[in-house]
Amino acid sequence: MTRTTPARPISVETVFPELTAYRGRVTRLHPRPGLPGARDSHVGGPMLWPYDEPWPVCHEQHQRETEGYAPDEILTARASGGWPPSRPWPADAAPGTDAPVPFGGLAQLFCRDVPGLPPGPDGADLAQIFRCPFVHGLHHERRYHLRWRKAEVAERAGRFLDPPPRVPLLRSEHELPEPCVLHPEEVDTYPWAEDGVLPGPLIARIDAWDDAQISEHGPHALNYQGALSIPPGWRVGGFPSWASTGPMAIDCASCTTPMRLLLTAGGEETDVDSHSWVPLEDRDPSWRGNAAVQGGPFLAQPTRLRFGRDRDLHVFVCPADQGHTPRWILS
């Protein structure tokens, strides 16, 4: 099934003509639970990974866990609407703080499936995203890994790694992605309205308009950030949302070039401020507004993943050299 974003409640360029010069395009991925294969773009499905190629591992020091949740029991609990039991780490499987830990696969995206996904180094056309299942340091930081490959070369492998290596227990239910198929859709998008992103006078007009909407329609009125600028959820390209941190300058650590947003892994596909972005196919046409949205928590968080405290995870790459190390920013 395709997914179709409704037209914006108002024409933002009619209200703010200056935004025409800032209009961009973003590809919403619209993940929904399904049965993706290794040759599909997906969140949480099997990776296209040749059998004889080493699986990526995290070599950094991590915090030792004493208990967790078994992946199979997580899936069983989800199917029944319950909660998985917590288990103690088996003594013979508990890794040391500096032992290599296999990364967990989060998503893979083929350029052939996702409009706007730029090729990687040397023409690579498959991006694979991983996360270490453990936390690191005093601030519980996470480690991520981006692997680019040429799909045609990988698909010629005679045998694929399935299942991949994994730790026996996960620290929370939200570490395990629900296998999701994707429904890519390109839509218009506009920058976050804060200092350093848009001109000050334009930001002041947007803020005044937001205030007027609240005065006239109440606390759940339309606002620029929630309804008119950046769609929620998983998306490729477009502009970063800065709800938690405020705008940041993201420069390449290798060459100081300003980096480009490759991917946003969204903690939620919709919330009370962004329900106008819910696709037409996920609505009951006999209702209006938030009441029309169908699917409940499975629509709001279909991947079951969380990044930080329900933040967005932005993946930035260097436009000058795709081989330079990407940056992973929570906001």
What span, in angstroms and rounded, lies between the C-alpha atoms of 26 and 280?
Answer: 18
Q: Quick one: how far is CA 279 from the chain centroid? A: 17
Is the pLDDT at 307 greater than 70? The verdict is yes
Mean pLDDT in residue range 229-245 = 95
Mean pLDDT in residue range 279-292 = 74
Same-domain pairing of 220 and 303? yes
Is the pLDDT at 293 greater than 80? The verdict is no
Quote the number of domains for the chain: 2
Same-domain pairing of 135 and 145? yes
Please give the backbone phi and psi of residue 175, each rounded to the nearest 5 degrees, phi first.
-80, -20
Mean pLDDT in residue range 49-70 = 92
Mean pLDDT in residue range 128-141 = 89
Same-domain pairing of 138 and 203? no
What span, in angstroms and rounded, lies between the C-alpha atoms of 89 and 13?
Answer: 55
Which residue among 180, 212, 231 closes a domain? 180
Is the pLDDT at 288 greater than 80? The verdict is no
At 1 the pLDDT is 72
Same-domain pairing of 76 and 134? yes
What span, in angstroms and rounded, lies between the C-alpha atoms of 31 and 45?
Answer: 11
Which residue among 163, 180, 197 closes a domain? 180
Tell me the pLDDT band of 204, cut-offs 50, 70 and 90: very high
Tell me the pLDDT band of 292, cut-offs 50, 70 and 90: low
CA atoms within 13 A of residue 70's CA, in its CB half-sphere: 10
Share of the chain above pLDDT 70, in %: 95
**DSSP letters along 35-58, please?**
---TTS-EESS----BTTSPPPEE
Q: Which residue has the higher pLDDT, 269 or 195?
A: 269
At 287 the pLDDT is 61
At 296 the pLDDT is 64
Global pTM value: 0.94
Question: Is residue 244 within 8 Å of residue 311, measured between CB atoms?
Answer: yes
Torsion 309-310-314-315 (CA) sign: positive
List all residues 6 or more positions away from 225 whose beta carbon is below 8 Å from its beta carbon.
Answer: 192, 193, 241, 243, 273
Query: Is there a cis peptide before residue 163, judged by omega within 30 degrees of 0?
Result: yes
Residue 277: exposure state from Cβ atoms within 10 A (0-12, 13-18, ≥19): buried
Q: Which residue has the higher pLDDT, 61 or 238?
A: 238
Q: Which residue has the higher pLDDT, 99 or 152?
A: 152
Same-domain pairing of 81 and 116? yes
Average pLDDT, the chain: 92
Structural domain harbouring 43: 32-180
At 291 the pLDDT is 54
At 95 the pLDDT is 64
Is the pLDDT at 283 greater than 80? The verdict is yes
Same-domain pairing of 113 and 12? no
Structure tokens at 81: 């609407």
Structure tokens at 112: 């052939």
Q: Over the stretch 104-124, which tens digit does the pLDDT of each residue have?
A: 999 999 999 999 999 999 999
Q: Over the stretch 140-149, which tens digit does the pLDDT of each residue have?
A: 889 999 999 9
Mean pLDDT in residue range 224-233 = 95
Mean pLDDT in residue range 163-174 = 93
At 94 the pLDDT is 63
Question: Is residue 121 within 8 Å of residue 323, measured between CB atoms?
Answer: yes
Tell me the pLDDT band of 88, cut-offs 50, 70 and 90: very high
**DSSP letters along 136-193, please?**
BTTTTB--EEEEEE-HHHHHT-SSB--SPP--S-BSSGGGSPPPEE---EEEEE----
Is the pLDDT at 210 greater than 90? The verdict is yes
Same-domain pairing of 225 and 100? no
Same-domain pairing of 275 and 326? yes
Same-domain pairing of 136 and 175? yes
Same-domain pairing of 78 and 197? no
Question: Is residue 200 within 8 Å of residue 98, measured between CB atoms?
Answer: no
Structure tokens at 175: 């570490």
Which residue among 180, 208, 239 closes a domain? 180
Same-domain pairing of 115 and 192? no
List all residues 6 or more positions away from 280 whose beta carbon is below 8 Å from its beta carbon.
Answer: 4, 5, 6
Q: 231 by DSSP, 3-state: which?
A: coil
Same-domain pairing of 251 and 219? yes
Is the pLDDT at 316 greater than 70? The verdict is yes
Tell me the pLDDT band of 310, cut-offs 50, 70 and 90: confident
